[in-house]
């Protein structure tokens, strides 16, 4: 895994030199960050609102009608995958070896899997006309969704506090949370 991470960092750092150059210009990074935060708000605003409805807030709002907001949440997600890739392409070692980033990716995957399971198991019942109270499975999915997206935000903010340093003498573990190409830390 650590070996895979090293090759991934190597590949990312050579993948898009023009983008990296733009990102290192005066306003490149700040602009991408601002867009990342706007996308974040669209994502948690729309998806979070739907989760709150599943949990019983604003029962006067029909669930299928409110679901039409979800594509806008997905647009926010797409904006953030795109803007997030810009950071990754510019400073790959700051992310790939960063435990906060590793957890962020894990939580995004859990959120995605949770959404998939929600559509497979409960969407039929939730989407039926006149459903006021979401079934228990829908509520569980909403709690998982809210906690995962909040965790994703927190991990994103904590990235800078977990900048990877050099690995210990015995080398990185199964998943490298230190930069194997830096001088070892004693």
Residue 12 or residue 43: which is nearer to other proteins going by CB?
43
Element (H, E) at 84: helix 70-90
Cα–Cα distance between 141 and 119 in angstroms, integer? 10
- The structure tokens listed for 113 are 């899997």
User: Is residue 49 a contact residue for other proteins (CB under 8 A)?
Assistant: yes
Q: What is the DSSP code string of 95-139?
A: HHT-HHHHHHHHHHHHHHHHHHHHHHHTHHHHTSTT--SPPHHHH
- The structure tokens listed for 156 are 């994103």
Residue 140 or residue 153: which is nearer to other proteins going by CB?
153
Nearest approach in angstroms of CB 56 to other proteins is 11
Site size for other proteins, by CB under 8 A?
A: 35
Residue 161 or residue 183: which is nearer to other proteins going by CB?
161
Cα–Cα distance between 106 and 80 in angstroms, integer? 16
Question: Binder to other proteins among 1, 3, 21, 37 (CB under 8 A)?
Answer: 37
Contact 176, 97 (CB under 8 A): yes
Question: Binder to other proteins among 65, 130, 174, 186 (CB under 8 A)?
Answer: 65
Nearest approach in angstroms of CB 150 to other proteins is 6
User: Is residue 176 a contact residue for other proteins (CB under 8 A)?
Assistant: no
Question: Binder to other proteins among 57, 105, 128, 182 (CB under 8 A)?
Answer: 57
User: By CB under 8 A, what part of segment 107-146 binds other proteins?
Assistant: none
User: Is residue 163 a contact residue for other proteins (CB under 8 A)?
Assistant: no
Nearest approach in angstroms of CB 38 to other proteins is 6
Cα–Cα distance between 37 and 43 in angstroms, integer? 10
């Amino acid at each position: 895994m650590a070996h895979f991470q090293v090759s991934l960092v190597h590949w990312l750092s050579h993948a898009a030199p023009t983008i990296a150059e733009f990102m290192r210009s005066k306003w490149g990074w700040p602009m991408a960050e601002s867009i990342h935060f706007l996308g974040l708000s669209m994502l948690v605003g729309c998806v979070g609102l739907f989760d709150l409805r599943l949990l019983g807030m604003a029962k006067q709002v029909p669930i299928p009608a409110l679901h039409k907001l979800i594509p806008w949440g997905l647009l926010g997600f797409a904006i953030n995958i795109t803007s997030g890739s810009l950071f990754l392409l510019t400073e790959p070692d700051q992310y790939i070896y960063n435990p906060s980033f590793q957890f962020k990716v894990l939580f995004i995957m859990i959120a995605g899997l949770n959404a998939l399971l929600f559509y497979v198991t409960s969407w039929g019942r939730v989407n039926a006309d006149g459903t006021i109270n979401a079934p228990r499975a829908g509520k569980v999915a909403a709690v998982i969704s809210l906690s995962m997206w909040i965790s994703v935000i927190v991990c994103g903010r904590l990235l800078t506090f977990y900048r990877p340093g050099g690995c210990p003498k015995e080398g990185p573990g199964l998943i490298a949370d230190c930069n194997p190409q830096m001088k070892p830390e004693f």
